[in-house]
Structure 1
Amino acid sequence: MNITGSLTQVLLIEDVSQIGHARRTAQRLAEDTGFDATDAGRVALVITELASNVLKHATRGELHLRTLPGKKANGIEIIAVDRAQGFDLQACLTDGFSTGGTQGIGLGAVSRQTEVFDVYADSRGAVILARFYSRRHKDSDLRLGVSQHSLHNDPACGDVWHLSIDGPNLSALVIDGLGHGEDAERAARAGEQAFALAPFASPVWLLEDIHQAMLGTRGGALAIAQFNGHLDTLTFTGIGNIGACLIAPDKSRGMASHPGIVGGQYRKAQPFEYAHVSGQLLIMYSDGLQSRWNLQDYPGLLHCHPAVIAAVLHRDFCRGRDDATVLVVALEAAHG
């Protein structure tokens, strides 16, 4: 299974008039994804409630939309993000609790309309995740999350991410093309295409193939993480400033990259191997995200869905001066 990365679609919610636009946008995305009228209606109902919830508790915020890859059919992800001073989560989960000054259906009812529902709220704000899959196909959810945003909402993004899943094995790629805009995206896409041909190859050989593919472009920074679910090991290879770490409940390990530019010049990189990683989080991010974050500052966040973790990190640590990507994967032998 190959998953090609895509930008997060962001809908600003600052006024009640934007709720209708959000509902129509999400319903259209659901229909384009192949949802029937009933499933598309669930998406429309939930996004209306989430948008109302943002206005009620934060006065402004964002809704993040993306299509989810599935083994049988694609799904829809909606994430509500705000920077308010927190809200009464238990009250909001009560059926009939109003989030917009009128009769609300409550987040408890919202959770039953979704296949995956998760919330993280503290004094910094709230992130609410809703994932939908067609109820005709009963697809299983992949325990991964991504938040990817281009600088100034440029349609071209110099960051690229790609995931390949083969049974219990997983290979993840993040490339940051130098600069931003179309030339940076062209460089990153050239590397992604080479990666997709052999994502589980020896990392030294794979890196050389990607380097050759990126020659003649701007080049970029790169990181490859290959998880072997049979051996419970992770092999990491990095060139440049893609950040990466493994996070367990009791420890966090940063993973080292080598200096250089893929498609430019670098010394042959040494892969690093990490043992006993099942049950840990793999987090990879471009330098559009600050590196001074620590999940221990967010009690309970480690146990949330990876998509919630990605959204929180982007909300609180995006530099705002470059394209930004954060990819969070729960390493487990059950991906297949």
Structure 2
Amino acid sequence: MELTFIGSPTRIVPIEEATGVGQARRVAQQVAVDAGFDETDSGRVALVTTELATNVLKHAARGEMHIALLPGHGAQGVEVTAVDRGPGFNLADCLPDGYSTGGTRGEGLGSVTRQADVMDMYADSRGAVVMARMYPKGHGKADIRFGATQQRMDGESVCGDGWALAVRGNLVSVLVVDGLGHGHAAEEAARAATETFVTRAFDEPVALMAAMHDAMAGTRGGAAAIAHYAVEQGSLRYVGIGNIAGTLLALDTSRGLASHPGIVGVQARRPQPFDFAEARGKLLVMYSDGLISRWNARDYPGLASRHPGVVTALLHRDFNRGRDDVTVFAMALGANA
């Protein structure tokens, strides 16, 4: 299988009153149409979105729905994620129909499980993140175990961050880039990097970084990090310049991924690649400096085993600075791309 996908900002719909449920449903249906869903599959997306948004309103009083277009094996999909700071709940208790913490019939999450191709969640006293992914009929196994949450700075019409994912056979290539500052000039710099990436995604990472440096010359430049994962070998090569942070997470350990100082496109020395021979089974997390870096996976027991789409939404909820563009990317480094 081969694919190349450039990410875009996550559509975030506030859920604070009943009108937010309808707005989230309409946004999700439009994303489903963009993904090529037919009327029946678009209806599944609408149902799941309505159930999750309604649950937020009933059980947490307020929250958000995150909606995104996804690349998948042979088809594009739709991801809808409910994010709240409510009282949390126990997954095993809530999935069976008939269980409810809010005096309702308790059919919501059971219905979501039946309609979604992929579902996962994380809940504790700080709130809940419930993610569902849907693909067109016949593509129920299209899911790639990655997640990405991106948001432009408040007041800006464009996002100065970018991310991209490419898969070719047993090699996976990931880019996260942060154009310096924010607004249109930052977006121009990030776009120069992502456009270069899609044409050369499987070049050796140091050479790819050099090509992006050349492409970003004349822009204000930015920070960038590239990760190559070789599926068969289970090895990771990482190259970063600037303030893109990265880490490899396991259930009981974490390892930071170093970046070199500099500004891609302006002034940067040839970076040294970092190789990790035993990356299989770990969770790769990369993020721009719109996310506070002082988070610790130990504060979220079991998080590293959750679907990466849950991880990125949770980190965005709890550590978004709120005064810059922000991108969080995560990928499970397993035996299958």
What is the alpha-carbon distance in structure 2 between the residues aligned to residue 189 and residue 100 of structure 1?
A: 45
Q: Which residue in 2 is equivalent to 1:135?
A: 137
AA aligned opposite 1:255: L
- Name the counterpart of 2:120: 118
Counterpart of 1:214 in structure 2 is 216
Contact 1:55-1:100 within 8 A present in 2 as well: no
Question: Could you tell me whether the CA contact under 8 Å between 1:63 and 1:79 is conserved in 2?
Answer: yes
**Which residue is 2:67 aligned to?**
65
Task: Report what 1:3 is aligned to.
Answer: 5
**Percent same amino acid at aligned positions?**
56
The 3-state SS of whatever aligns with 2:238 is: strand
Aligned amino acid, residue 277 of structure 1: A
Which residue pairs with 1:74 in the alignment?
76
Are 2:143 and 1:158 equivalent residues in the alignment? Answer: no
Q: CA deviation at 1:293?
A: 0.7
User: Residue type of the partner of 1:265?
Assistant: Q
Contact 1:27 1:44 in 2 (8 A): yes
TM-score (norm 2): 0.95
Please identify, of 75-84 and 40-49, the stretch whose mean Cα deviation from structure 2 is larger.
40-49
2:73 is aligned with what amino acid? K
Match of 1:253 in 2: 255
Q: Number of paired residues?
A: 335
SS of the counterpart of 1:95?
A: coil
Contact 1:73 1:139 in 2 (8 A): no
CA distance in 1, matches of 2:326, 2:301: 24
TM-score normalized by structure 1? 0.95
SS in 2 for 1:330: strand
Q: 2:288 is matched by which residue type in structure 1?
A: S
Please state if 1:308 is matched with 2:310: yes
The reply on whether 1:279 has 2:281 as its aligned counterpart is yes
Partner of 1:152: helix, strand, or coil? coil
C-alpha change, 1:139 and 1:155, in structure 2 (3 Å) is farther
Instruction: Say if 1:318 and 1:71 are closer, same or farther in 2 by CA, change over 3 A.
Output: same
Q: Deviations over 1:187-212 (max 9, x none)?
A: 11111111222112122221111111
Instruction: Could you tell me which runs of 5 or more consecutive residues in structure 1 were left unpaired when the two chains were aligned.
Output: none
Q: Deviations over 1:46-93 (max 9, x none)?
A: 111111110111100000001111232211100000011223544532
Letter in 1 for 2:24: A
Aligned to 2:188: 186
Query: Which of 29, 32, 35 is residue 31 of structure 2 equivalent to?
Result: 29
2:96 aligns with 94
Give a deviation string over 1:167-194, Cα, whole Å, max 9, x none: 1211111110000011101011111111
How far did 1:256 drift? 1.0
User: What root-mean-square deviation, in Å, do the aligned CA atoms of Structure 1 and Structure 2 show?
Assistant: 1.6
Whether contact under 8 Å (1:72, 1:139) holds in the other structure is: no
Q: Aligned-pair distance for 1:296?
A: 1.3
Is the 1:164–1:171 Cα contact (8 Å) retained in structure 2? yes
The runs of 5 or more residues in structure 2 that have no matched partner are: none
Distance 1:100 1:66, change over 3 A: farther
* Kept in 1: contact 2:63–2:82 (CA 8 A): yes
Tell me how far 1:105 sits from its aligned partner.
2.5
Deviations along 1:4-49, whole A, 9 cap, x unmatched? Answer: 1111000110001222222222223223322222211111111111
Task: Give per-residue Cα distances to partners, 1:208-260, cap 9 Å, x unaligned.
Answer: 11111000000001111111223322111111110001112232110111111
Contact 2:52 2:108 in 1 (8 A): no
Q: Which of 207, 228, 231 is matched with 1:205 structurally?
A: 207
Residue 99 to residue 21, structure 1, CA distance change in 2 (3 Å): farther
